[in-house]
Every structure is written in structure tokens, then in C-alpha cells.
A and B are shown apart, each in its own frame.
Chain A
Amino acid sequence: MIKFEDVTKIYPPSTVGLERVTLHIEKGEFVFLVGPSGSGKSTFIRLLIKELEPDRGRVSVGGRDLATLRRWKIPYLRRNIGCVFQDFKLLPNKTALENVMYALLVTGNANHDSKKKALEILSLVGLAHKEDSFPNQMSGGEQQRVSIARAFVNHPPLLIADEPTGNLDPETSMGIMQLLYRINKTGTTVLMATHDREMVDRMRRRVIALEEGKVVRDQKRGGYGED
């Protein structure tokens, strides 16, 4: 699903984002990307959605080499990658329902179908009763669930979560994790960057640890720290 081959990204003048990273992530995997701030987790994710270009090496997603992807085709790439962020990135002027619908409308879905699908997915994340609430009327956990609903509503083969529980209390985080776990069960590859030691240790999934832009550990069923 994801292939990094000898990928290096330097931020001018000389800050290392990623350095010679080579790794494969298979379809259907659940992978934690761990490491301290500035270790390259966000760079990794931004390369995946072609928000950044690597200075060296090759990034491919779903068998597609991103270097050969034309600029105008980037939106179509992103529709196949659901993104969840620490700060939710919901459109502030749209209700929960409209936020989810937006992801459907951009793909050319008709208004009517979009509404139906969006309502379904909202009840799946347990927020059917919040469809008319605006982001600032919802708790952090609720907003994050809306953002997951939006990321998943197109049933993308890949879902990326960048610190999705970073702003949430442990109990709410647990709920979010369960949601991601369920999404993974449907066959979607899930890549989650996180600081949440407890969560990683509990889930026992593949862990890729980054430090100063390099992969320092890649364990099939790992914990947050070294075992």
C-alpha cells in the first residue's frame, strides 16, 4: 500500500525531515508511527498526500509513484486517503453533517446521496444526534469523531491519522482508537502517528519509530519504547 524507497527530505537550509527512509506497509495493516516531536512523523505524512515532495528517493501509494503524479491529479489521490488531524481540521462554518458531506460532494456525489451516506457514517461514529451542531458546539472527542467520519465516508483504502488523540483525554482517546480499529477491520490500512505511549503498548501493532528523520525501529508487534 505504501512504499518509501530511500526517501530523504531536507527543509532548507539544512533541517532534516526524513533521511534515507525505506519501508513498506502492506494493505490492511495497522501501523503506529512513533517518535519525539521533530522526528519526521509529520514529514512522512505530508509526503504521502503529496503536500511535500521528497528531495531524494521514491514514495508510492497504492502502487502509484507520487513523483509522476500530475499536480491536477493530487485531489484524486487525496480522495483515496482519509486524513485525521490532531486539530480536527473541520470547516468551522459547516455543521457536522455538512463537514462530512463536503468530502462526498467534492467527489461529485449528488447532494441527496451525500446526505444519506453522511448520516449513516455519523451514526456509525455515534454522532447522529449532533448532525446539526457546528464544530464549536462540540467537544474535542466529538469533533475528532466527525473528522474520522469525514475521512472514512468515501471508504478510502488508506487512512492516515496524525496525533488524533493528542488533544483528548485518555477515555475519549480510547473511543477514538476503537473507531480506528473498527475501520482497520473493514480492510482499510491505518497509519497513525502518535505520542500516546499507553495506547501503542496496549494495541500491540506494528510500530515504526523515527528519530531525527531516520527509522530506528520497525517491529511487527511492538510497544512504544524498546522492549
Chain B
Amino acid sequence: MGRISFFLKEAFGSLRRNYFMTIAALVTVFLSMVVLGGVLVFVYTTSALLSEVEQKVEITVYLKTDPDPSQEQIDALQAEIQSWKEVKSSTFVSKEEALNRLKEDFKENPEILEGLTGNPLPASFEVSLVDPKTVDTVAARFNGNASVDEVRYGKEIADKLFTFTSQARNFLLGFIVLLGIVAVLLISNTIRLSIFARKREVEIMKLVGATNWFIRWPFIIEGVTVGLFGAVVAVVVVLVLNSVLIGRIRDSLTFMTVPLDAVPYVSVTLILLAVGVVIGAAGSGIGLRRFLKI
């Protein structure tokens, strides 16, 4: 107990004494964490946007016309589709509804539809999937079905979209790793500088017979304190900026629903705090290592 309070006293005493170094280290941690936090928020939001785009992949199953399939056939097909576990939902669009939609689409220039006699449009199922990547498998099942005329799901577009989203995810992940490394190097370097300034002190402690851990603890407490404080301020800044900026983006991107709640605030907070503390402690411990070899 007495030892812990001694270490704490040592650590805070030297944080106060070397206030210039303390501030330099705090600012470094803060800036690195803001950048890292900003990227995290960006990644979470982008990732949510990507999933939303992926969800838009749907299969449209056009049924035969001339003759139109009977109500029994339609019901049977509907039941079959809904029994597949890949399917999230399926909506039946009747011939009449299809025509209504067409009229709605062309209501600015109704003359286009004037020549239309009867209803040539096919009925259809709109099938959305649990995992959009199963689209090929599900679409293939309609081949050879007697009442199905054509299956459309924009195969090429879907393929391109999935390639793009997976590349985008890999890129974002790489970006986070890279930034993490930059943050670690930057912070541990700053801490190393502050330790270097106290090389002589460490040397004296060794000569008096202090064990490495006796010397190390106060430094580690210093590192953790700086890491924690820098990260706390960074968390506040990142979260406030996030809510302000996303609000603005949402106002300007009205054609897309920006998922405001895509960012898991608790995770981001915990990640930043943990990274701050771990880097602070590790930076001190590693920075000290070469001076302890006396």
C-alpha cells in the first residue's frame, strides 16, 4: 500500500515537474486518438452504408402471361419461395398493380400509355434476401419453373457491387491498422523523448539498487495517465464532431438514408480509451528499456 502511494506520488510529481513534456505527450495522444477515432467513425458509417446498398439487391421473378398462371400456381410458388431460408421477404405484384405502377411512373406524360389496350404486363414476385450474396443460388432455383417467364436481378451489377464493397471494407481495415501503427509510433516516440531527458535519474536509481520494476512503475503510471487523459478528450471531440457532421451530411444527402446510429458509441469510446492506456503504458515500458541496462 505504502509502495503504491509512493509510486503514485513519484508519477504525478514528475508529470507536474516536466509539464512541458507532459503537455507535448498529451497533445500527441489527443491528436492521434482524434484521427483514429475519426477513422473508426468513418469506417462504421461507411460500412453501414455499404450494407444498406447491398440490401437493395432484389430478385424480380416475372410470371408468364398468355396464359397467366392460375391463382393456385401463384399461391404454390409463393409458399415455396417463402419456405427458402435465404429469403427475407417476398411480395407478390399482381398484373393490376404492375399497371398502376407504370401509370404512376408516367403520370407526367400519360400520352405514352394511351395506345395501351388491356394489360400486357406480367405479374411478378419481388424477393429480398437475408444475405444478398446468395442471390445467384436463389435465382437459379426458378429455372425451369413452369409459371416463371424470366428472373431478373441485375447479375452484373450485383457482382460488381459485391466486389466493390468487399474491396472497400478491406481498404478501410488496412487504413485502421496503418493509422494504429502510426499512433503507436508517434506516442511511444514522444514518451521516449521525455524519458531520455531523465536518463541520468534512471541511472542514479539503478546505482542505488532500485530494481527495474521499482523504477518502471512510476513511468508506467505516467504513461497510463497521459494516455487516458489524451484519449478521454479525444473521445469527447470525436463523438461531438460525429453527431454534428452526420447531421449535416444527412441534410445534404437527402437521396440516401445515412444511418446515424451506425456508430457504436460505446465500442468507439472503449477502443480509444484502451488504445490510449495500452500505448501509454507500453510506450513508457519500452522507452525505459534501454536505460535500464546498467
Contacts and interface: CB of A to CB of B under 8 A. Distances in A.
A102 B2 contact: no
B109 to A, nearest CB: 85
28 contacts: A49-B207, A72-B212, A75-B206, A75-B209, A75-B210, A75-B212, A75-B214, A77-B209, A78-B206, A78-B207, A79-B209, A83-B208, A89-B203, A89-B204, A90-B204, A91-B204, A92-B201, A93-B201, A102-B205, A102-B210, A103-B208, A103-B209, A105-B6, A106-B208, A106-B209, A110-B2, A111-B6, A150-B208
What 6 pairs across the A-B complex have the smallest Cβ distances? A79-B209, A78-B209, A106-B210, A75-B211, A75-B209, A111-B2
A76 interface: yes
Nearest to A108: B3
B210 A51 contact: no
The main secondary structure of chain B at its interface with chain A is helix
Interface of B: 2-3, 5-6, 13-14, 17, 201, 203-212, 214, 294
Contacts of A136: none
B267 to A, nearest CB: 40
Interface of A: 49, 51, 72, 75-79, 83, 89-93, 102-103, 105-108, 110-112, 150
Contacts of A79: 208-209
Contacts of B6: 105, 111
Contacts of A77: 209
A75 B203 CA distance: 12
A78 B201 CA distance: 16
Given A51-B294, A105-B6, A111-B6, A89 B207 contact: yes
A75 B294 CA distance: 10
Nearest to A80: B209
Contacts of A93: 13-14, 17, 201
B97 to A, nearest CB: 81
Nearest to A104: B208
A90 B208 CA distance: 10
Nearest to A151: B208
A159 B214 CA distance: 23
A90 B203 CA distance: 11
A154 to B, nearest CB: 8
Given A93-B14, A93-B17, A107 B201 contact: no
Given A51-B294, A75-B209, A102-B208, 16 more contacts: A49-B207, A75-B206, A76-B209, A79-B208, A83-B207, A92-B201, A93-B14, A93-B17, A105-B3, A106-B211, A107-B209, A108-B3, A110-B2, A111-B5, A111-B6, A150-B208
Contacts of A49: 207
